[in-house]
Amino acid sequence: MSTSNVRVAMIGAGTVGQPLARLLLDSNRVDMLVDAAAARIELVAICVRDGAKSRPGVPAQLIVTDSMATATRDDIDVLIEVAGGVEGTRELIEAALSRGTTVVTANKALMAAAGSELIALAHQHGADLYYEGAVAGGIPILRALRTSLAGERINRVMGIVNGTTNFILSKMSAEASDYGAVLAEAQALGYAESDPTADVEGFDAAAKVTILSSLAFGTALCGEVIHREGISRISAGDVAYAHRHSLVIKLLGIAERIGEHGISRRVHPVMLPMDHPLASVHGAFNAVFVEGASSGPLMWLGQGAGGEPTAAAVLGDVVAAARNRVTRRCDAPLSIDPSLQIFPLGELQSVFYLTVDVLDRPGVLATVAGVFGEHSVSIKSMEQSGFGDEARLTFLTHMVFESDISATLEDLAQLDVVDSVGSCIRVLEDDPS
């Protein structure tokens, strides 16, 4: 039987696109993929912004610069989008899908914002839309949720899904360094971008949690804003407290069922017990921890960012896309569970670590503790450090409602004896199994 060719064009040849192009141009690799793809994958064009830039390993004759012309070529089966961006890129993907061209993308921002509509458009035109590279780089978590765990009732997906922030928190913990100094180092090493906002303020992780939730629970990909707190306010003092109490601070993305129909999705730092599986994930590594009703806890670990790991995930999608093109089928669209309702953040419960900078005078502790009491926040332990105008009170609460902690923080900030309310970090106390 003769082997079909599946023709592929790419938009983007940067951090992800360049190693991907090299994989697609490696004839040994393409030969090896013929069985899995049921076709020979042929890269026919690579679209970039700057056609004059040197790109080692990428033949100049494949380079083009008209992205819409590339997306709407009649002679391609699959468009790979590794350019990034939301609105302009959405138009390119819509144009390709509307012509029945399958799209493979690593664009988490676009998928979180408009994935449901794009998946529906793909289905309407007999095409696929794959996006494994969009979450946790080289970790094949989306396909695992979609296929291997299709029969499982998933209760919680919790992950370290941003490499930059995990690198920063790991360094702060290992070297007792301040956030600012470690961020500067992360930027110098190329982990953090010159504008690190998307990573350090949790926007990148929030997009990934939105995507994980859609596969685990059937929530829509339509740009919903989820609760998000980043790591930029975490101090060396917070890290030291965690260390003294056998805890470690991680930025977690969490999507979980609450009761039968409740769903909570959020990104925030958490103090984890050192024996929690996610506590030992260091550096730029990512890990996704899934709790299934029958499977129990499961965890995936790997390189969540970087060109080569992400390129490998994108290539896996291209293979699946090619096979579907050859066999003239396409995947069913994701199902959405209309019964799910957003569980109010204020009704979630957690243990909290809080710091409050106060004047060190008689009666101040009683005044501060009184505010906790007014909002039914029970204190488990308290430490004081410093003295005079510099005193810091560090509290660990019992399990309390988020709404009560928010009200406590608001009222504490109004007290004359309080200079500032510092950190407020959730502490995970439950057993992962």
Residues 173, 180: Cα–Cα separation, whole Å: 13
| Residue 304 sits in the site that holds ligand HSE (CB under 6 A) | yes
Residues 314, 311: Cα–Cα separation, whole Å: 5
* Buried residues in 57-89 as b, exposed as e (16+ CB within 10 A): ebeeebbbeebeebbbbeebbbbbbbbbeeeeb
Contacts of residue 233, Cβ cutoff 8 Å, sequence gap at least 6 = 422, 423
254 neighbors 266 (Cβ within 8 angstroms): yes
Residue 82 interaction partner, one of ligand HSE, ligand NDP, none, beta carbon < 5-8 Å per kind: ligand NDP
Residue 269 interaction partner, one of ligand HSE, ligand NDP, none, beta carbon < 5-8 Å per kind: none
Q: Which is nearer to ligand NDP, 118 or 391 (CB)?
A: 118
- How far is Cα of residue 71 from the mean position of the Cα atoms in its chain? 27
| Residue 165 sits in the site that holds ligand NDP (CB under 6 A) | no
Catalytic residue, chosen from 53, 108, 171, 208, is 208
Helices 402-414 + 364-374 axis angle, to 10: 140
| Residue 12 sits in the site that holds ligand NDP (CB under 6 A) | yes
| Residue 164 sits in the site that holds ligand HSE (CB under 6 A) | yes
Contact positions with ligand HSE (CB under 6 A) in 24-43: none
Q: Which is nearer to ligand NDP, 164 or 408 (CB)?
A: 164
| Residue 137 sits in the site that holds ligand NDP (CB under 6 A) | yes
| Residue 253 sits in the site that holds ligand HSE (CB under 6 A) | no
67 neighbors 47 (Cβ within 8 angstroms): yes
Distance linking the first and last C-alpha atoms of the chain = 50
| Residue 82 sits in the site that holds ligand NDP (CB under 6 A) | yes
Cα–Cα distance list, 56 to 19, 60, 194, 280, 305 (Å): 10, 10, 24, 37, 21
Catalytic residue check, 171: no
| Residue 305 sits in the site that holds ligand HSE (CB under 6 A) | yes
380 neighbors 400 (Cβ within 8 angstroms): no
**Minimum distance between the CB of residue 40 and ligand HSE, rounded to whole angstroms?**
30
Tokens of 319: 């293979």
| Residue 163 sits in the site that holds ligand HSE (CB under 6 A) | yes
| Residue 20 sits in the site that holds ligand NDP (CB under 6 A) | no
| Residue 207 sits in the site that holds ligand NDP (CB under 6 A) | no
Which residues of the chain form contacts with ligand HSE (CB under 6 A)?
A: 162-164, 199, 204, 304-305
User: Among all residues, which ones are annotated catalytic?
Assistant: 208
Binding site residues, ligand NDP, CB under 6 A: 11-17, 47-50, 53, 67, 82-85, 88, 106-108, 133-134, 137, 305-306, 310
